[in-house]
Amino acid sequence: MNKKPFLKIIQNANEEGCRIVAPLLGFPGLNMTDCTIKLAQQNFNEHFKAMKAIADTFSPDIIFPLMDLSVEANALGCYTIFPRKQSPTVVNEHLGSKEFDWLDRINIAFDTRLIGYLETVKLMSISLPESIMLGAYVAGPYSLAALMIGAEKAAMATVMNQDYLTQICQMATERIQTYVRLLIVAGAQVICILEPSAVMLGPDQFEQYSAKYVRYISNSCKYTGVATMYHVCGNTMHLFKKMSQAKVDAISLDSREAGVDLPAVASQVSSEVAIVGNINPTGSILNGSPDDVSSEVLSLLENMAPYPNFILSTGCDLPQETPLENIKAFMEVGRSYRLKK
């Protein structure tokens, strides 16, 4: 796999007048191998087949396994429902002092489904071309806490029970860090930290319950040469500065339709932090024609032309039913685009 530093790869692309093209497209790979979400997330060979089909067909510059926020919560014993054709759902439960004592005994490194993700990453590391950087997802500390106790209860705790929420976020960070270390050993080169639940927080709360813990994770990754990416769904115009200050290598942001003005973000973020995004995953790429996709992608590339730290991607993971011809159009425009010198 490609071992050059993350920002160096972006710089090299810019010197050649092109962009890094890395849509988040794990789920469409399932249609390419006639596989269900449940099977792929519980059978690492089937999971790998879908990722290899994506790599062989589209050759993105960065490839991620299936996005799955339930991995760590399930590994901590949370009740998780596994529909055949949908992503897993974590059922919230009460966590008191007795439950915390029990959680402290759990070593998630021995969880079978988590191991399945590690084995998928290993197979990808061994089998995919070195030109494709290998990414991996982990849940963010606040989102993991919200999965474990419920999003509404977590939001209320930011005001009414801060010590309780801090305890959960600290425990979550320790378990996430364990998973991160295992993913790096398996071959991951980019760790993407998913914090969808944190979009509802204000900047100060976001710093307190997410960014300070993500900073710890990203700092530990720097010693290994592995890059970190911070992804938050929804309108993050009130949070992107805090995200970019968490010592991560990149921030991944949602679409214009979600409220994100990517050029405005790029104008206020250090060039040392990559800006990743932000084609709407449920817009023209899902429901439009290849020409619609080409036009939207070209417009984004033109708007982001002044910013050398831009990576062309989608605002979030693409739905499984995304037409493959639309993904092809995305890739073709991204690959053919050249920066004006």
> DSSP letters along 287-321, please?
HS-HHHHHHHHHHHHHHTTT-TTEEEEESSPPPTT
**What integer pLDDT is reported at residue 314 of this predicted model?**
97
Average pLDDT (58-67) is 96
Average pLDDT (9-14) is 83
Coil, helix or strand at residue 89: strand
Q: DSSP assignment, residue 257?
A: G
Confidence grade of residue 115 (pLDDT, cut at 50, 70, 90): very high
Q: How many other C-beta atoms are found inside a 10 Å radius of the C-beta of residue 297?
A: 24
Listed in sequence order, the residues at least 6 apart from 57 whose beta carbon sits closer than 8 Å to its beta carbon are 32, 324
Confidence grade of residue 85 (pLDDT, cut at 50, 70, 90): confident
**What integer pLDDT is reported at residue 309 of this predicted model?**
92
Closest C-alpha among 231, 59, 41, 26 to residue 130: 59
Confidence grade of residue 20 (pLDDT, cut at 50, 70, 90): very high
Coil, helix or strand at residue 175: helix
Confidence grade of residue 94 (pLDDT, cut at 50, 70, 90): low
Q: How far apart are CA 242 and CA 240, in angstroms?
A: 5
> DSSP letters along 192-222, please?
EEE-GGGGGS-HHHHIIIIIHHHHHHHHHHH
The position carrying tokens 């008191």 is: 96
**What integer pLDDT is reported at residue 84 of this predicted model?**
85
**What integer pLDDT is reported at residue 192 of this predicted model?**
97
Give the helix/strand (H/E) hosting 49: helix 44-58
**What integer pLDDT is reported at residue 97 of this predicted model?**
60
Four-way CATH pick for 6-334: 3.20.20.210, 3.40.640.10, 3.40.109.10, 3.40.1550.10? 3.20.20.210
1 has a pLDDT exceeding 60: no
Q: How far apart are CA 327 and CA 313, in angstroms?
A: 11
Give the helix/strand (H/E) hosting 145: helix 141-149
Of 14-23, 179-188, 227-236, 292-301, minimum mean pLDDT range:
14-23
**What integer pLDDT is reported at residue 195 of this predicted model?**
97
Mean pLDDT of the chain, nearest integer: 93
| CA atoms within 13 A of residue 24's CA, in its CB half-sphere | 28
7 has a pLDDT exceeding 80: no
Q: What angle do CA 47, 328, 187 make, to 5 degrees?
A: 35
2 has a pLDDT exceeding 50: no
Q: How far apart are CA 262 and CA 189, in angstroms?
A: 25
**What integer pLDDT is reported at residue 104 of this predicted model?**
78
4 has a pLDDT exceeding 60: no
**What integer pLDDT is reported at residue 223 of this predicted model?**
83
